[in-house]
C-alpha cells in the first residue's frame, strides 16, 4: 500500500529527498499524503504551500500544485491563493521557526480570519536548515548553536497560540504517531476554516546532538513515553500540561469562514446588477 | 460626456487597474497611497473581484503573488517604508516570474521620513531594492490621465514579460485632482497571459521557453497542469537546481528578457526638444514644473526642451546617449539628491555636461527654481 501511495502522489523523479537519515519530517509528509488519499481529494485541486526550512522542502516531492515561498511567508501566499480561488484545497506545510518566528504574524492573522487553510507544522524544536539555532519552540535550558549556554527564552505552545488566535480546529501528534497525524489532518481539511496541526518531529542531526538526546530511535522512544492522549486529561490539563506532549484533537469549534463571508459581499452586487460589467 | 470626470491620481490608478482586469488587491494602509486600497475595497466586489487587507506589506506582496498564480490579475499599493518591506517578495516574483503590479506612491524618507510630503526618492530602490540580479519594470506617470493609462500598461507588461511591474508615483500626482477624459473600451488594449496548450502533464515544463520567445507561457494553479514554483534557482521544470549553468541561464534570462525588449518597454515624452539647445530630463510630478519652466524660458528666448521618461526602468540607455550626443548640456531635475541622474551620467557624461537639480525637504520643485538653475547652467558655459 505505501508503494501505491508513493506512486500516486510523489514526484518519483525528485526523490531521494534531502532530509538526513533518522529525520522525522518524512513521516509527517507521508501521513499528510495518507490523509489526502483517505479524503479522495482531486490532485489538480490541491495546492500545497511552504516557506523555507528543512520541512518546507516537502512540497517539491509532492505531485500537486506546489509553491515553495519565502521564509515565514507561506501562510500569506496561501491566503492570496485561497482568497483568489476559494475552490482550491490549500494546505500549508511549515516549520516551527518558519511559522512562529518570522511567520508568527501571518499565523495569528490567518487563524484570526478563520480562512479555510490547513496548516501542518513540522516542529523539531530547532532551526534545522540553518544548522541548529534555537527556535521559539526550543525549551528553556536546551541548547542550540546560538544558545551555547542554554536557551533563556520561554517556548511557545504552538497549539495554544493557534487556538488563542482563532483557529477553529487544533490538534497535535508526534512522528511516533503517524496515524494520529493522518487523522488530525483529515479532520483539519474537512473543517471549513483555519485548521492547525502541530506534528512534533525530530532532528537528530542538530537538536538531538546538541542536547544529547541520543539516536533517532532514542528520540522516537522519548516521544512515545512523553506523550499522552488528550482523552485521558481534564480540560485544564489539556492546555497546561508542560510535562507531557498532549496529543489528539485539542479544539474543534466551527465558525463562519472568511472566503465565504467575502463571497456574500460579491453576491450582493451580482444580484443587483444581474450581469456584471467586466 | 460619461467619460469626463474629476479625478485624483490614486483614483485613476484604481480605475485603470480595474479596466486592465485587476481582480485581486491585497494591501496595508500607508500615506499617501491609502486611497488606492480604499477604492479597491469599494470597487472590486462589484466586478466579482476580491480585496483583502493583510497584516502588513510583506503579507500583501505574498498574497498578490499567490492570487496571481491562480490566474487573477493582482495589485498592491504602498509608500516608502512599506515598499522596503515588500522587497523580499518582489524578488520572489522576479525569480518565479509571477506577474503583478506594485504601486509605490513615494514619500519623503529615509525611514518614516516626511510621510505626507512628495518625494522621488525611491528610484534606486525600485531598481535595486531586492537582492541579486534581475530585471524590473518601473513607470512614473505625470498626470492623472496618464496614471490611468500607465496602470493599464503596467498590467499588460507584467503579464507579457511575467515580471513584477512597479508603478512609481509621487504624491504630487497621486493627490492631484484633474479633469480627465477616459478612453473608451475600444481604445484600450489589454494583454492577457498566454496559456500553454497541447502538452501532456508528463511532458509539461512550467518554465520552458519556446524558441523565439523570452518568457515561458503560464498556467494557473487549479488549471490544466500541476507544477512547482520556487524562489530557488530552478531549471525549466521549475524545480530547484544547483547546476551552475542552469542557474546562470535562468538569471541571465531574467535580466535579458527585458533588456532585449527595451524598445517595446520604453515609454517617454519629448516636449519642445526639437530646436532646443539645452535638454532637461525630468519625470513624474516634477516634470510638470519643468514644462512650465520651459514655457517661461522660451518666452525669454532661451531654447530649452524636455525629455520625460515614463519608463524609469529598464533605463533607456540608447535614448539618453542620443540626447547626450545632441545636446551640449543636460539638466536632470528630480525630487531627490541625485538618483536617476546617476544613470544619465553613466551613459552620457562622455558626450556632454550633465547638471543636476534636486531637493528633499518635501516641497515641490517650483518652475522658478528650474528657471534659475537653467540660467546658471547657461552662464557657466
Ligand atoms: C528572511 C530569511 N531569514 C533567514 C533565512 C534563513 N533560514 C532558512 S531556514 C531557517 C530556519 C528554518 O527552521 P524551521 O522553520 O524550524 O524548519 P526546519 O529547517 O527546522 O525544518 C532560516 C532561519 C531565510 N531563508 N530567509
Ligand atoms: S537537519 Fe534536522 S530537520 Fe533538517 S533534515 Fe536533518 S534531521 Fe531533518
Q: In this model, does residue A70 exceed pLDDT 80?
A: yes
Q: In this model, does residue B16 exceed pLDDT 60?
A: yes
Ligand nearest to the CA of A26: 2
A20 lines ligand 2 (CB under 6 A): yes
Taking one residue from A and the other from B, the number of pairs with CB-CB distance under 8 angstroms is 140
DSSP string, A73-140: -HHHHHHHHHHH-TTSEEEEEEEHHHHHTTTHHHHHHHHHHT-SEEEEEEE-SEETTTTSEE-TTSPT
The reported pTM is: 0.97
A220 touches B at CB < 8 Å: no
What mean pLDDT value characterizes chain B?
96
Which pLDDT does position A278 carry in this prediction?
43
DSSP string, B60-113: HHHHHHHHHHTT-EEEEEE-HHHHHHHHHHHHHHHHHT--EEEEEEE-B-STT-
A205 lines ligand 2 (CB under 6 A): yes
Mean pLDDT, range A141-155, rounded to an integer: 97
Tell me the three state secondary structure of residue B329: strand
Confidence of residue A242 (pLDDT cuts 50, 70, 90): confident
Q: Which three three-digit cell numbers place residue B180?
A: 480627465
Name the residue among A43, A47, A73 with its Cβ closest to that of B89: A73
Contacts of A76 in chain B (CB under 8 A): 54-55, 58-60, 62-63, 66
Distance separating alpha carbons of residues A250 and A244, to the nearest angstrom: 14
Distance separating alpha carbons of residues A118 and A79, to the nearest angstrom: 11
Closest residue on chain A to B23 (Cα): A84
Q: How far is CA A146 from the centre of its chain?
A: 25
Contacts of B64 in chain A (CB under 8 A): 80
Q: Which atom of ligand 1 is nearest to the CA of A55?
A: 21
Q: What is the pLDDT of residues A97-129, one digit of tens each?
A: 999 999 999 999 999 999 999 999 999 999 999
Q: Which mutation among A129, A131, A175 tests ligand 1's pocket best, with the greatest number of atoms within 8 A of CB?
A: A129
Which pLDDT does position A2 carry in this prediction?
67
Q: What is the pLDDT of residues A8-28, one digit of tens each?
A: 999 999 999 999 999 999 999
Confidence of residue A274 (pLDDT cuts 50, 70, 90): low
The one-character DSSP state at A190 is: H
Q: What is the pLDDT of residues B313-329, one digit of tens each?
A: 999 999 999 999 999 99
- List Cα–Cα distances, B202 to A163, A246, B207, B264, in angstroms: 41, 43, 14, 35
Query: Residue B358: phi, psi to the nearest 5?
Result: -155, 165
Q: Which three three-digit cell numbers place residue B240?
A: 530547484
Mean pLDDT, range A212-222, rounded to an integer: 96
Which pLDDT does position A272 carry in this prediction?
85
**CB atoms inside a 10 Å sphere around CB B41:** 17
Q: In this model, does residue B98 exceed pLDDT 90?
A: yes
Q: At B215, which helix (H) or strand (E)?
A: none
Q: Give first-to-last CA distance, chain B, whole Å.
A: 51
Q: Give first-to-last CA distance, chain A, whole Å.
A: 49
Q: Which three three-digit cell numbers place residue A18?
A: 534531502
Distance separating alpha carbons of residues B98 and B27, to the nearest angstrom: 17
Name the residue among B66, B68, B240 with its Cβ closest to that of A78: B66
**CB atoms inside a 10 Å sphere around CB A256:** 11
Q: In this model, does residue A277 exceed pLDDT 80?
A: no
Closest residue on chain A to B90 (Cα): A70
Which pLDDT does position B381 carry in this prediction?
58
Q: In this model, does residue B1 exceed pLDDT 70?
A: no
Q: What is the pLDDT of residues B115-133, one digit of tens each?
A: 999 999 999 999 999 999 9
Ligand nearest to the CA of A204: 2
Q: Which three three-digit cell numbers place residue A178?
A: 503517524
Confidence of residue A3 (pLDDT cuts 50, 70, 90): confident
Q: Which three three-digit cell numbers place residue B219?
A: 498556467
Q: Do B66 and A88 touch (CB under 8 A)?
A: no
Q: In this model, does residue B159 exceed pLDDT 80?
A: yes
Q: Which mutation among A20, A95, A218 tests ligand 2's pocket best, with the greatest number of atoms within 8 A of CB?
A: A20
What mean pLDDT value characterizes chain A?
96
Q: Do A77 and B232 touch (CB under 8 A)?
A: no
A210 lines ligand 2 (CB under 6 A): no
Q: Per-residue b/e over A124-146, b at no fewer than 16 CB within 10 Å?
A: bbbbbbbebbbbbbbeeebbbee
Which pLDDT does position B378 carry in this prediction?
86
Whole-number percent of chain A with pLDDT over 70? 97
* Pairing mode of beta strands B4-8, B177-181: antiparallel
Distance separating alpha carbons of residues B47 and B368, to the nearest angstrom: 46
Q: In this model, does residue B380 exceed pLDDT 90?
A: no
Q: Do B230 and A83 touch (CB under 8 A)?
A: no
Q: Please, which residues have CB within 8 angstroms of residue B325's CB and are 6 or more apart in sequence? A: B351, B352
Which pLDDT does position B197 carry in this prediction?
86
Which strands sit side by side in the sheet containing A169-174, from one edge to the other?
A227-229, A245-252, A169-174, A195-200, A117-123, A89-95, A46-50, A65-68, B228-230
A85 touches B at CB < 8 Å: yes
Amino acid at each position: 500500500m505505501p508503494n501505491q501511495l508513493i506512486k500516486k502522489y510523489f514526484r518519483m523523479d525528485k526523490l531521494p529527498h534531502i532530509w538526513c537519515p533518522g529525520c522525522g519530517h518524512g513521516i509527517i509528509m507521508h501521513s499528510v499524503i495518507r490523509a489526502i488519499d483517505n479524503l479522495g481529494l482531486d490532485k489538480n485541486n490541491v495546492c500545497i504551500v511552504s516557506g523555507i526550512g528543512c520541512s518546507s522542502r516537502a512540497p517539491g516531492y509532492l505531485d500537486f500544485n506546489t509553491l515553495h515561498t519565502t521564509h515565514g511567508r507561506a501562510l500569506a501566499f496561501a491566503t492570496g491563493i485561497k482568497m483568489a480561488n476559494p475552490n482550491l484545497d490549500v494546505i500549508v506545510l511549515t516549520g516551527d521557526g518558519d511559522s512562529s518566528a518570522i511567520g508568527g504574524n501571518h499565523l495569528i492573522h490567518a487563524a484570526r480570519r478563520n480562512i479555510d487553510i490547513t496548516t501542518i507544522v513540522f516542529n523539531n524544536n530547532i532551526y534545522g536548515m540553518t544548522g541548529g539555532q534555537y527556535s521559539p519552540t526550543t525549551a528553556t535550558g536546551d541548547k542550540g548553536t546560538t544558545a551555547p549556554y542554554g536557551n533563556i527564552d520561554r517556548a511557545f505552545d504552538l497549539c495554544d497560540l493557534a487556538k488563542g488566535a482563532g483557529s477553529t480546529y487544533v490538534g497535535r501528534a508526534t512522528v511516533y504517531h503517524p496515524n494520529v497525524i493522518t487523522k488530525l489532518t483529515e479532520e483539519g481539511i474537512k473543517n471549513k476554516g483555519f485548521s492547525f496541526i502541530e506534528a512534533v518531529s525530530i532532528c537528530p542531526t542538530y537538536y538531538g546532538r546538541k542536547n544529547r538526546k541520543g539516536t533517532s530511535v532514542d528520540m522516537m522512544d522519548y516521544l512515545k513515553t512523553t506523550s499522552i492522549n488528550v482523552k485521558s486529561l481534564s480540560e485544564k490539563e489539556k492546555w497546561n500540561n508542560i510535562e507531557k506532549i498532549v496529543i489528539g484533537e485539542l479544539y474543534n469549534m466551527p465558525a463562519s469562514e472568511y472566503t465565504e463571508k467575502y463571497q456574500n459581499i460579491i453576491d450582493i452586487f451580482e444580484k443587483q446588477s444581474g450581469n456584471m460589467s467586466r | 460626456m460619461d467619460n469626463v470626470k474629476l479625478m485624483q491620481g490614486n483614483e485613476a490608478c484604481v480605475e485603470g487597474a480595474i479596466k486592465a482586469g485587476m481582480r485581486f488587491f491585497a494591501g496595508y494602509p500607508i500615506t499617501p497611497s491609502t486611497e488606492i486600497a480604499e477604492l479597491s475595497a469599494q470597487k472590486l466586489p462589484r466586478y466579482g473581484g476580491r480585496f483583502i487587507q493583510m497584516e502588513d506589506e510583506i503579507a500583501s506582496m505574498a498574497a498578490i503573488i499567490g492570487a496571481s498564480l491562480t490566474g487573477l490579475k493582482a495589485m498592491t499599493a504602498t509608500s516608502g517604508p512599506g515598499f522596503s518591506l515588500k522587497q523580499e517578495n518582489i524578488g520572489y516574483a522576479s525569480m518565479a516570474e509571477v506577474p503583478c503590479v506594485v504601486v509605490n506612491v513615494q514619500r519623503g524618507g529615509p525611514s518614516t521620513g516626511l510621510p505626507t510630503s512628495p518625494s522621488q526618492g525611491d528610484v534606486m530602490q525600485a531598481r535595486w531594492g531586492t537582492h541579486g540580479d534581475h530585471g524590473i519594470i518601473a513607470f512614473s506617470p505625470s498626470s492623472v490621465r496618464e496614471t490611468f493609462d500607465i496602470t493599464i500598461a503596467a498590467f499588460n507588461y507584467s503579464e507579457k514579460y511575467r515580471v513584477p511591474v512597479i508603478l512609481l508615483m509621487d504624491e504630487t500626482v497621486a493627490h492631484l485632482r484633474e479633469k480627465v477624459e477616459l478612453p473608451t473600451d475600444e481604445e484600450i488594449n489589454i494583454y492577457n497571459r498566454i496559456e500553454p496548450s497541447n502538452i501532456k502533464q508528463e511532458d509539461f515544463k512550467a518554465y520552458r521557453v519556446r524558441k523565439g520567445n523570452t518568457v515561458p507561457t503560464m498556467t494557473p494553479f487549479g488549471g490544466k497542469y500541476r507544477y512547482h514554483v520556487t524562489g530557488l534557482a530552478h531549471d525549466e521544470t521549475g524545480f530547484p537546481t544547483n547546476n551552475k549553468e542552469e542557474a546562470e541561464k535562468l538569471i541571465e534570462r531574467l535580466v535579458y528578457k527585458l533588456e532585449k525588449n527595451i524598445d517595446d518597454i520604453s515609454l517617454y515624452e519629448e516636449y519642445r526638444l526639437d530646436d532646443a539647445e539645452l535638454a532637461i530630463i525630468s519625470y513624474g510630478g516634477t516634470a510638470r514644473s519643468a514644462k512650465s519652466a520651459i514655457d517661461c524660458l522660451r518666452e525669454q528666448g532661451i531654447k530649452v526642451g524636455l525629455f520625460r521618461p515614463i519608463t524609469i526602468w529598464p533605463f533607456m540607455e540608447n535614448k539618453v546617449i542620443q540626447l547626450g550626443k545632441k545636446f551640449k548640456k543636460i539638466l536632470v531635475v528630480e525630487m531627490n539628491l541625485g538618483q536617476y541622474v546617476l544613470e544619465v551620467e553613466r551613459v552620457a557624461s562622455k558626450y556632454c555636461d550633465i547638471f543636476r537639480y534636486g531637493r528633499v525637504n518635501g516641497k515641490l520643485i517650483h518652475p522658478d527654481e528650474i528657471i534659475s538653475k537653467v540660467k546658471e547652467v547657461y552662464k557657466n558655459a
